[in-house]
Structure 1
Amino acid sequence: MPPSAVSPASPQRPRATGRITLADVAALAGVSPITVSRALRGERTVDPVLAERVKAAAAELRYMPDPAARALASRHSSHVAVLIPMLSNALFVDLLEAVQRTLRPAGYQTLIGITHYDPDEEEQLLREQLLHRPAGLLVTGIDHNERTRELIAGSGVPCVHVMALSTTPDLYCVGFSQTDAGAAITQHLLDRGRRRIAFVAAQLDPRTLQRAEGYRRALQAAGLHDPALEWLDPRPSSMALGGELLDQVLRERPDCDAIFFCNDDLAQGGLLAALRLGVAVPQRVAVAGFNDLSGSDQMLPPRSNVATPRGAIGVAGAQMLLALMRGDTPPQHAVDLGFELRLRQSS
């Protein structure tokens, strides 16, 4: 039944501002205000016929929900605060897209904060976002300063950590072992006969250092670890820096026969520099990266990589958070989604 058939006249606007309210939509659609609220949030428990009637009434009245009123009524908003280190890294774009695809059908929007790998900036962003009474929190990693940990614990807001794993019983997380992944790609290079393998890293966030730990573990087990083959640069990661560091490694350590770059920005820059300098890959030096971002298989030569499940992590993390926001207890505190080695011609 069209909304106009339910009520022959548009409802009166009870507020001096003239703002259309939830009650106005309910009156026009011939349903209760709670049904309007649930229908407009996209809840699947609402009968599809009623949901269409509500949406038609809202469109006719040009109703715009009031987020502040909703937050006041429910003691939290329909927003989920998401903290990520960077938006310029495709890794986190893939993660965010998966999170949003999962949360939106349940009626939640994302409020994104960029930490720039800075623990103090992360703390300040969290303080600001908690003022908006978010329904839930999704944060990257588990390495926070003490004040951030206290804010999360004291907020009472459900929280899920992504891209990392923890054995702490009361901490919910979805990710994979960065250390195991670093060890696995290093072992691959060893299996290919490489013996002087460099580790090239930038940014030096906790996950990068865990990959370095895995690299060391594999080389130490083989009796081949050489600390002088570690290039740990604190500067922000970039393709340009990757090219610079490949050149530096080969000049200072001409005996190096493989390079494990800690991420794909550096690895891509390193491969382009090798092409420019006439360095044969993999004949002169093997190259491997981390994350397997789009384009890795199109490089010259196609690049070997650790493929990380960032999309699956975004979906699983958001689903775990939805369960917590409903008051349910997820079956696992920590979900390990693993990783995959994608071995191509560069190694």
Structure 2
Amino acid sequence: MLKNQRVTDKEDRSPRPVTMETVARLAGVSQVTVSRALNEPDKVSPATLARIRHAIAVTGYVPNLVAGALASKRSKLIAALIPSITNIVYSSLMQHFSQAVRASGYQLLMSETGFSQDEEQELVAKLLTRRPDAVLLTGIRHSDPCRHMLLGAGIPVVEVWDVTETPIDTCVGFSHTEAGKAVAAFVRENGYRRAANVSAGDERALRRKDAFARALIEAGFASVPEVCFEGGASIERGRLALARLVDEQAFRDGVIFCSSDLLAHGVLIEAQARGLRVPEDVAVIGFGDQVFAAHTLPPLTTVRVDRALLGERAASALLARLNGVEVPEKTIDIGFEIVRRATA
């Protein structure tokens, strides 16, 4: 019994967590005032707010946001699912999205799906247990269970990097099919009579590839050879793709449309290694206008999507919905543009 008592005494002497009550006592205010200072600081006088912030700094108090969420039914979290956090295409649009939502008091809970619908479905199920106030998804193609979970959650959802007439809630992006058609039109207008495709395996890249090839076949091209990879894009795969096209298809005197600038960069390197002139022997068009695209040798012709605008418009749509405002446009198409440089 004494031994148990000594253990209890030792536990009683251990540090206790700092609570809102501790901060309130130190600042000489009520807990209600502390709560108001944390959640609605503009409703607290500057002098009182300064005392409370000083008390928080001194004690190291961290608000219990879970408890606050239970009371307010708001977690102040937005869950975001993107295919790859290392791909500049997605990370740059998420940077602008994050800046906008953080300015409105929300924090981002980000997860990587790796272009897999099954992985996305599993992550959505896990993230919804955290009770986010809203969800951002990449793309418009999701599994049926995933769509049902999101619809059942009854929270705002924005799908980015694609458009559809039937979004879960709101979508902000551009048409991948129209992008492929636009590049095909560019190819025809510039007098090319041979073309090839190099593509990564994600379904949006495949839609661009298919639309590009279909438009050229309809315009009279005999064929549009292609090299497709199951995984993501890389410089190595771009080099491998050109090697296959030249060695197996004897492809010369034409243009290659790549599903990403990374693949296009690899094609340019392999062309140099083989002594092929760009754009005379092989012309190259990328996709994404990544930061290096203007600085390759030669500078890369590519398709640009305004990622900053995309992130900002997605944030605006979600924040409007979170504030109970109906978004007049459920489908927001920001478009794209072909940036002509020296490779095509």
Q: Give the TM-score normalised by structure 1.
A: 0.87
Partner in structure 2 of residue 254 of structure 1: 250
Instruction: Name stretches of at least 5 consecutive residues in structure 2 with no aligned partner.
Output: 1-14
* 1:239 shift after superposition: 0.9
Partner in structure 1 of residue 152 of structure 2: 154
Partner in structure 2 of residue 3 of structure 1: none
Distance 1:26 1:321, change over 3 A: farther
1:108-157 Cα shifts (integer Å, max 9, x gaps): 11111100111111111111111100011001001001111111111112
Distance 1:337 1:55, change over 3 A: farther
Q: Does 1:37 align with 2:38?
A: yes
Percent identity of equivalent pairs: 33
Q: Which amino acid aligns with 2:215?
A: A
Q: Which amino acid aligns with 2:236?
A: A
Does the 8 Å contact 2:26/2:55 carry over to 1?
A: no
For the residues of structure 1 that align with 2:323 and 2:19, how far apart are their CA atoms?
29
* 1:17 shift after superposition: 3.8
* 1:105 shift after superposition: 1.2
Partner in structure 2 of residue 87 of structure 1: 85
Does the 8 Å contact 2:36/2:44 carry over to 1?
A: no
Q: Which amino acid aligns with 1:195?
A: R
Q: Which amino acid aligns with 2:169?
A: L
* 1:61 shift after superposition: 3.6
Does the 8 Å contact 1:39/1:51 carry over to 2?
A: no
Q: SS where residue 80 of structure 1 aligns? A: strand
* 1:166 shift after superposition: 1.0
1:11-65 Cα shifts (integer Å, max 9, x gaps): xxxxx9442217835982757345313246xxxx657947962544432442211
* 1:214 shift after superposition: 2.5
Residue from 238, 243, 250 that aligns with 1:242: 238
Q: Which amino acid aligns with 1:282?
A: P
1:4-23 equivalences under 5 Å are 17-21=16-20
Distance 1:225 1:125, change over 3 A: farther
State how many pairs are aligned.
326
Partner in structure 1 of residue 342 of structure 2: 345
Q: Does 1:71 align with 2:69?
A: yes
Partner in structure 1 of residue 103 of structure 2: 105
For the residues of structure 2 that align with 1:145 and 1:293, how far apart are their CA atoms?
30
Q: Does 1:282 align with 2:279?
A: yes
Q: Which amino acid aligns with 2:202?
A: D
Does the 8 Å contact 1:185/1:305 carry over to 2?
A: no
Q: SS where residue 291 of structure 1 aligns? A: coil
1:274-300 Cα shifts (integer Å, max 9, x gaps): 112211100101000000001101001
Does the 8 Å contact 1:25/1:63 carry over to 2?
A: no
Does the 8 Å contact 1:296/1:302 carry over to 2?
A: yes
Does the 8 Å contact 1:162/1:175 carry over to 2?
A: yes
* 1:233 shift after superposition: 2.3
Q: Give the TM-score normalised by structure 2.
A: 0.88
RMSD (Å) for aligned C-alpha atoms: 2.3
Q: Does 1:222 align with 2:219?
A: yes
